């Protein structure tokens, strides 16, 4: 692996043995955020909590592979690649760069924004919904909030929608992303090419008054990895090409001056921190809700 604008590499020998061991006196351990570990498939499977990737030939326990981990020692994103694979280096580099993009979006914030205290972001769990007028196009919908279940844990099939309130005096463009344990970044709202604004002093829900869309459902167990999922709201005074921040699942995917959001968009567009494209976004703010996907 070579250093680039997204990655700075260090080498640590016997990493898995050192993760939970005390540092030797006077020895300063190198700083790192994610590691590509050379080990056996048994090492990977020991700490992996995700289902095996479908339609993939699984290595023997003793076979040498590379996988990603963080400082907990737990495998990340259900990603592994055989050490003998001639494309192993490219696969690892791509996975690490996608990891950087995921963490950049997860940590994205604008502490200096005047909008910070003027945006409310809530998740409303549903016990169900039904069509109230099937003759209309689209059909009208009645939702039933689940007032009994306030837990942030969700299972396959659970339903929810989001509620946003803009207490500022500006019209705001809102973008809702999900950041999953697979490394996949989805744009949940708005729908493609839509440029709806969040009006001042009016609550807004993803469930449109005119239809049953905007209700989100946790996917099937085989398609929805367990663990933490982040719902990230970005509200901005100007629209931006929100699809640029989306990313496929890492396991299957085998700068300029300015605001952090502008940098992230530019980095995504040019695949590096500096490049010929600069996307300018003025005042913006982020809000996060973390949920846990469980069986």
pLDDT of residue 209: 56
Cα-based angle 130, 136, 141 (whole degrees, multiple of 5): 25
Each residue of 212-268: pLDDT tens digit? 667 888 877 666 777 888 999 999 998 888 888 888 888 765 423 445 666 666 555
Each residue of 151-195: pLDDT tens digit? 788 888 888 888 889 999 999 999 999 898 888 898 888 876 667
DSSP string, the chain: ----SS------TTHHHHTTSPPPTT--PPP-S-EEEEEEHHHHHHH--SPPPTT-PPPPTTSEEEEEE-TT--EEEEEEEETT-TTHHHHHHHHHHHHHHHHHHHH---TT-TTGGGEEEEEEEEEEEEEEETTSSSPEEEEEE-TT---SEE-TT-EEEEEEEE-SSS-EEEEEEEE-TTS-EEEEES-TT---EE-TT-EEESS-TTSSTT-EE---TTTS-SEEEEEEEEEESS---GGGG-B--TTT----SS-HHHHHHHHHHHTSSS-S------SEEEEEEEEEE--
What percent of the chain is modeled with pLDDT above 70?
74
* pLDDT interval class at 282 (50, 70, 90): low
Each residue of 15-61: pLDDT tens digit? 766 665 555 555 555 677 888 999 999 999 987 777 676 667 889 99
pLDDT of residue 68: 93
Q: What is the pTM of this model?
A: 0.77
pLDDT of residue 1: 67
pLDDT of residue 19: 64
* pLDDT interval class at 279 (50, 70, 90): very low
Each residue of 57-82: pLDDT tens digit? 889 999 999 999 988 778 898 899 99
Cα-based angle 226, 177, 69 (whole degrees, multiple of 5): 45
Choose among 122, 144, 143, 159: nearest CA to 211: 143
pLDDT of residue 128: 80
Each residue of 91-134: pLDDT tens digit? 999 999 899 889 989 988 988 888 889 999 998 888 887 766 66
Structural domains in the chain, sorted by start: 15-107 (no CATH), 116-293 (2.60.40.3880)
CA 225, CA 223: separation in Å to the nearest integer?
6
Look at the block and give the residue holding tokens 């993803």: 206
Residue 14 has pLDDT above 90, yes or no: no
pLDDT of residue 257: 41
């Amino acid at each position: 692996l070579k250093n680039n604008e997204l990655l700075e590499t260090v080498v640590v020998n016997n990493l898995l043995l050192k993760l939970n061991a005390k540092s030797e006196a006077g020895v300063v351990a190198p700083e790192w955020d994610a590691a590509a570990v050379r080990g056996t498939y048994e090492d990977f499977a020991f700490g992996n909590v995700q289902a095996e990737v479908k339609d993939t030939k699984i290595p023997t326990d003793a076979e040498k592979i590379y996988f990603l981990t963080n400082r907990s020692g737990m495998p990340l994103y259900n990603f592994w690649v055989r050490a003998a694979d001639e494309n192993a280096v490219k696969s690892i580099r791509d996975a690490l760069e996608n990891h950087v993009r995921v963490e950049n979006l997860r940590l994205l914030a604008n502490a200096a924004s005047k909008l910070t205290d003027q945006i409310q972001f809530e998740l409303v769990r549903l016990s169900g919904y039904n069509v109230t007028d099937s003759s209309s196009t689209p059909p009208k919908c009645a939702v039933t909030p689940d007032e009994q279940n306030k837990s942030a844990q969700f299972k396959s099939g659970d339903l929810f929608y989001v509620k946003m309130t803009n207490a500022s005096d500006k019209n705001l463009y809102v973008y809702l992303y999900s950041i999953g344990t697979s490394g996949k970044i989805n744009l949940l709202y708005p729908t493609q090419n839509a440029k709806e604004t969040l009006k001042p002093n009016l609550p807004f829900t993803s469930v449109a008054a005119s239809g049953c869309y905007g209700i989100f459902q946790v996917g099937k167990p085989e398609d929805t990895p367990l663990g933490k999922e982040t719902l990230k709201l970005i509200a901005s005074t100007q629209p931006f090409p929100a699809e640029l921040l989306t990313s496929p699942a890492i396991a299957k995917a085998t700068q300029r001056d300015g605001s952090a959001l502008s940098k992230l968009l530019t980095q995504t567009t040019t695949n590096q921190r500096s490049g010929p494209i600069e996307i300018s976004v003025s005042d913006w703010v982020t809000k996060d809700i973390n949920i846990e996907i469980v069986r």
